[in-house]
């Protein structure tokens, strides 16, 4: 029970930290800023977290593990290559609308990770991109996907959703469902209307 309360506090600190890092950058955020933001004195806050480095590492790897876990699930699934790819692109969009600050930190501030964590993070990212590229290659071979250069397809898909993190807010007049459906429709069926 005590453990659970501690975890909730810790998660709250992580959330506020992600917002501050997104807004002011990792380098521009001090532990004093963070303590102020969460309304604790620094000594109390250090009861829950060790350092700014630990916070950054936790945020980056939480996001990375979400991607890697979903990828593994898809790889083990009986779905078509297209369905696997669609589910993963949908996850990217979903994470940006549900955990926008954390995704921003994992996309932009990962370079401030300590050396060991940095190597591990880059390794995970490269492995993830290679696995996605492999799904694309197999989808092309199977005739499910158009015969384009796999890297071009991979980076077009990943890049095409990046703006969501900067743009999306609940008051944009687009639900998260519409947002995901529209982007998926453009990327997989094309913006051009083929219906008569």
| Residue 148 in contact with its own copies, rule: CB under 8 A | yes
Record the tokens describing residue 183, joined without a space: 């982007």
Q: Which of residues 79-138 bind its own copies (CB under 8 A)?
A: 82, 85
| Residue 152 in contact with its own copies, rule: CB under 8 A | yes
Q: How far is CA 180 from the centre of its chain?
A: 15
Q: Which of 94, 96, 101, 88 is nearest to 55 (CA)?
A: 101
Interface residue with its own copies, options 44, 98, 156, 177 (CB under 8 A)? 156
In the bound complex, what is the minimum distance in angstroms from residue 173's beta carbon to its own copies?
A: 8
Count the neighbouring beta carbons within 10 Å of the beta carbon of residue 195: 3
Would you say 37 or 83 has its CB closer to its own copies? 83
As a whole number of angstroms, the longest Cα–Cα distance in the chain is 67
In the bound complex, what is the minimum distance in angstroms from residue 187's beta carbon to its own copies?
A: 6
Selected range binding its own copies among 11-19, 58-66, 69-77, 167-175, rule: CB under 8 A = 167-175
Would you say 48 or 168 has its CB closer to its own copies? 168
Q: Which of residues 51-70 bind its own copies (CB under 8 A)?
A: none
129 and 151 Cβ atoms separated by less than 8 Å? no
Burial 167-193, CB ≥16 within 10 A → b, else e: ebeeeeeeebeebbeebbeebeeeeee
Q: Which chain residues interact with its own copies by CB under 8 A?
A: 82, 85, 143-149, 151-153, 155-164, 167, 172-174, 178-179, 182-183, 185-194
């Amino acid at each position: 029970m005590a453990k659970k309360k501690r975890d909730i506090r810790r998660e709250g600190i992580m959330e506020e930290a992600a917002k501050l890092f997104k807004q002011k950058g990792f380098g521009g955020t001090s532990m004093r800023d963070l303590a102020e933001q969460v309304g604790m004195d620094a000594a109390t806050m250090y009861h829950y977290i060790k350092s700014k480095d630990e916070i950054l590492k936790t945020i980056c790897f939480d996001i990375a593990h979400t991607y890697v876990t979903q990828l593994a699930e898809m790889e083990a699934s009986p779905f078509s290559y297209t369905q696997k790819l669609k589910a993963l692109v949908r996850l990217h969009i979903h994470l940006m609308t549900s955990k926008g600050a954390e995704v921003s930190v994992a996309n932009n501030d990962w370079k401030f990770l300590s050396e060991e964590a940095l190597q591990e993070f880059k390794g995970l990212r490269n492995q993830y991109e290679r696995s996605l590229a492999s799904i694309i290659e197999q989808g092309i071979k199977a005739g499910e996907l158009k015969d384009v250069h796999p890297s071009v397809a991979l980076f077009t898909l990943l890049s095409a959703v990046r703006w969501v993190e900067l743009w999306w807010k609940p008051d944009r007049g687009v639900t998260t469902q519409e947002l995901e459906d529209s982007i998926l429709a453009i990327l997989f069926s094309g913006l051009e209307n083929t219906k008569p």
